[in-house]
Amino acid sequence: MWSAEDVARDQVRRHADGLDIPAVEGTLAEAAVRERESAEQARRGDSFSEFGSDPERLADIWVAKHAEWRRVRDLMVAAGWDAYQPDGDTQGLAWAQERVERRETALAAHSAFQARRREEAEELRMELWLSATPSRLLRAVAGRAGLQPAQVLAQLAERIVVSEDGTVSVPPFAPTL
């Protein structure tokens, strides 16, 4: 999820594209008013249910938007721009790139998590209790192969063959690392 600053920076950068200084000053004044109003509504605990928004988050976003509009205005004055140029705003470009990278990282992590969940859904986990004789035999085979008994059982399960009549068998094999 984006922070209030991320939301503000993205929205201001897109909205400011091509605006001149008087238009930016007007939007800056509007942001100052919205910042005060949203802070007051958050303090009162007013609901923004028609927008489905958390009052405190909305107030934080307006604080960040007000600060970002000030930064854009100051940049334009310092650079002598007649209109805001997002491609010339190195700080804005850096922040936008950071957001893209964080988004890509989050999407990759989410995708990996989903893949793990799909694999886990297909896995079978079980607890197996063997009597003494098969247990000793399994431990001996595992010991000779340098494996844990569970690893030998997993290899055994991977080689199961089910015939047409439903009988289950495992062809002879040697457990390997």
State if pTM tops 0.85: no
The answer to whether 159 touches 173, Cβ cutoff 8 Å, is: yes
- Asked whether the CA dihedral 8, 9, 11, 17 is positive or negative, the reply is positive
Per-10-residue mean pLDDT, the chain, length 177: 88 95 95 91 68 78 95 96 94 93 93 90 84 94 94 93 95 92
CA torsion 76→87→66→75, rounded to 10°? Answer: -20
Give the pLDDT of residue 101. 93
Give the pLDDT of residue 55. 81
Q: Name the token pair of 7.
A: 């939301």
DSSP one-letter string for 91-160: HHHHHHHHHHHHHHHHHHHHHHHHHHHHHHHH---------HHHHHHHHHHHHHHT--HHHHHHHHHHT-
Give the pLDDT of residue 41. 84
Give the pLDDT of residue 119. 84
Rounded Cα distance, 56 and 45, in Å? 9
Q: Which helix (H) or strand (E) holds 169?
A: strand 168-169
